[in-house]
Amino acid sequence: MASSVESWVEEVSQTTRPDNVVWCDGSDAENERLIGQMLADGTFIGLNPDAHPGSYLHRSNPTDVARTEHLTFICSDTKDEAGPNNNWMPPAEARQRVWPLFNGAMRGRTMYVVPYLMGPADSPYSKVGIELTDSPYVVANMRIMTRMGKVAMDRLENDGVDWVPGLHSLGDLSPDRRFILHFPDTRTIWSVGSGYGGNALLGKKCYALRIASVMGRDQGWMAEHMLILELQAPDGDTMYVAAAFPSACGKTNLAMLRSPFENEGWRVRTVGEDICWINIGPDGRFWAINPESGYFGVAPGTSNATNPNAMQMLDRNTIFTNVALTDDRRVWWEGMDGPRPDHLTDWQGNSWTPASEAPAAHPNARFTTPATQNPVLSEHWEDARGVPISAILFGGRRATTVPLVYRSFDWEHGVYVGATMASETTAAAAGAVGVLRRDPMAMLPFLGYNMADYWRHWLDIGARASNPPAIFQVNWFRRDEDGRFIWPGFGQNMRVLRWVYEQVNGGKGGSRETPVGTVPTPEALGADELGLSAKQAETLLSVDRDTWVSEAEDQAAYLDQYGDRLPSELRQQQRGLVDRLQKVAV
Ligand code: GTP
Ligand code: SPV
Ligand code: MN
C-alpha cells in the first residue's frame, strides 16, 4: 500500500469521522455485497430479472439530477489562471467555506477508498486516482466507469506514479451546501453535497477533464470532451475520428452508430464516447486513448430506431438512474420504442399516466454500463498507445446558421472554429435548456484553466505535430421553419462520416467552397435518397452571408473577453472570416 495514500485516508477520516473505512478491491464479491446493502436500504430498486438481469434502478435526490456548473469552481491562486470561462474560488476561501462541510460528514456512514485507473491497464498514458466517498452508489458506478481496485493499486505500487486525490461526500445533499472544487496546483478534487454523475464520479469530468487538462497543458498533451470512433471503409481501410460535442449533443450516439451501409462495408466501431486523451506520437500524429471503461449515457431518446446498439448493450448489468419504472419492473423513458405504457412509476417514485404533464423519466436520466457490453466496441479500444486520429469534428446544437458539415481550411482555422463553436444548452446541466451559448471545443464546463491559454495550447500542439488531424464542424440540429430537425441524424450521420473520410483521403466526394469552409454537395450526401427536397438540402448546407456577418461579430465579442491572453492567431482568423464574407456577392 502506498503510504502516501494511507496517510491521506487517515487525515480525511479525522475530519469526516466515518464509522468504517473500506478499501475497495473492485472484486465481484465486494460489488455483490454493496448491491445487497443498497437493495436493503432502498438506494437500489431491483428490476425484473428476466428483462434486466444484473440491473438496478436508482432514484437520486430530486434536487440532484445533473451537473451543477454554478457550484463548480477552479481554485487556482489567481482568478486569471481560472479565466472568465470558470467560477473561481481562492484556495483560502475553499478551506474556510467548504472544508468545514466535510466535518463529521461521514458519521454513521462508511467511507470507501476507491483506487482507480483512467486508461487501459497497460497504457503509458493511463493515470491513477483515489476517490474517498461515502456513497456506495458512487462506488458501484466507478467500478463500471473506471478500472477500479487492484489494477490501480498495482500501478501505483509498481510505477510509483503520482495519483490524484478526490474527496467526495454526499453531505446533506442540500444545493446550498453543494460544491465541486478543483485545485489545479495540487491536483486535488473536493466534492460535497451531490451524488450525481459528473459531480460525484470524480474520475470523469473532475479528473479526466478538469485536472487532466491542466496536466496536459503542463506535460504537452490534451484532455478533451470527445468521442473516439473507428470508421471502416469498404476496402478494409480504417480511419479514426474524434468528435467534441457538448453534453447531450450526440457523442454516445455517433460513437455507436449503426451504419445504413453496413453491407457495403461502411461501419463504425466505438473506441470511446465521452472523453479522449491525446498524445503526439513519434509519427507526428495524434494518438488517442479513452480513459474510461464504461458509459454514463443519456437514456431518453435511446431506442431501437435511434441507437439499436445501445439498446442491446443495456439489456443486462446496467445501473439506471432516474428512469421510469413499468408495473412489471422494466425501465422506460421518453423516446423508447413501442406504445407508451398506460401506467408507470415516474423517476421520483410517483404514479404516472399519459395524462401526467411532466415526463416519466427525468430528461437527464442515465444508464451506467460497461464498455465491454457494447456490441460494436472496437478491437482497438484498449490499445496501449491509443489509436491515430485523422479527423476532429466539432459540433453543437444550432437551430440556424451552421451547416450540416463543413471542413476548415487548415489547423489554425480549425482551432478558430472550435474556439467559437456555440450550442443550445441541454438537461445535462442544471439551469435553462435551449439557450445558445459559446462552448469552445465543448469544454466550457470542463476546462481547469483559462480558455485563452487552452487555445494557445491547441495552436502549439498542432504546430508540434507534423501530421495533425483535419478539422470539421458538424450540426445535426438545424431546423426548418416549422421547428423540425431537417436532418434525420443518428445512423444517417454515416453519410457525413463517409464524406469526411473522402475529404481526408484526397478530397474526393463532391464539395463546394464557402467563406466558412468546404461543404458537401447534396449529391455527395445522397440527399435525395433520404427524401430531402432541394430546398431542405439547400437550407441544410447553406452559408448565409448576413447571418454569418453577425455570427462573426458575435464571435469577436466572445473572444474579446479574453483580452491580452487571446492568441493573436485567433484574432487574425476572425478578420479572415469577415474578409471572405465581404467578398461574397449579394
Ligand atoms: P453526454 O453524455 O451528456 O456528454 O452526451 P452525448 O454528447 O453523448 O449525447 P448523446 O449521444 O447521449 O445524445 C443526447 C441526446 O441527443 C439524445 O436525446 C439523443 O437522442 C439526441 N441525439 C443524438 N444524436 C442525434 C442526432 O443525430 N440527431 C438528433 N436529432 N438528435 C440526436
Ligand atoms: C456530461 O454532462 O457531459 C456528461 C454527464 O457526460 S456527467 O457525467 O454528469 O457530466
Ligand atoms: Mn459528456
- Residue with the smallest CA separation from ligand 1 atom 23 is 250
Residue 59 grid coordinates: 432514484
- Quick: pLDDT tens for 332-341: 999 999 999 9
CA 245 to ligand 1 center in whole angstroms: 9
Is this prediction's pTM over 0.95?
Answer: yes
Cα–Cα distances in Å, from 483 out to 398, 400, 486?
A: 12, 10, 9
Task: Determine the distance from the C-alpha atom of residue 445 to the mean position of all C-alpha atoms in its chain, rounded to a whole number.
Answer: 10
- Quick: pLDDT tens for 117-163: 999 999 999 999 999 999 999 999 999 999 999 999 999 988 777 89
- Quick: pLDDT tens for 437-478: 999 999 999 999 999 999 999 999 999 999 999 999 999 999
Task: Tell me how far apart the alpha carbons of residues 167 and 103 are, in angstroms, rounded to a whole number.
Answer: 12
pLDDT band at 210 (very low <50, low <70, confident <90, very high): very high
What lies within 8 Å, CB to CB, of 414 at 6+ separation is 392, 408, 462, 470, 471, 472
CA 373 to ligand 3 center in whole angstroms: 19
Active site residue 276: no
pLDDT, average across residues 258-270: 97
Q: Is the CB of 297 under 6 A from ligand 1?
A: yes
Dihedral, CA atoms, 459, 184, 195, 364, nearest 10 degrees?
A: -10
CA 521 to ligand 3 center in whole angstroms: 31
| Three-class DSSP category at 466 | coil
**Per annotation, catalytic residue among 24, 206, 249, 276:** 249
CA 566 to ligand 2 center in whole angstroms: 28
What pLDDT score was predicted for residue 507? Answer: 76
- Residue with the smallest CA separation from ligand 2 atom 1 is 247
- Residue with the smallest CA separation from ligand 1 atom 28 is 489
Residue 565: phi, psi to the nearest 5? -75, -15
Task: Tell me how far apart the alpha carbons of residues 540 and 554 are, in angstroms, rounded to a whole number.
Answer: 22
Ligand 2 atom at minimum distance from 247 CA: 3
- Residue with the smallest CA separation from ligand 2 atom 10 is 198
Q: Is the CB of 486 under 6 A from ligand 1?
A: no
| Three-class DSSP category at 206 | helix
| Three-class DSSP category at 56 | strand
Task: Tell me how far apart the alpha carbons of residues 193 and 170 are, in angstroms, rounded to a whole number.
Answer: 5
What pLDDT score was predicted for residue 541? Answer: 97
Ligand 2 atom at minimum distance from 298 CA: 5
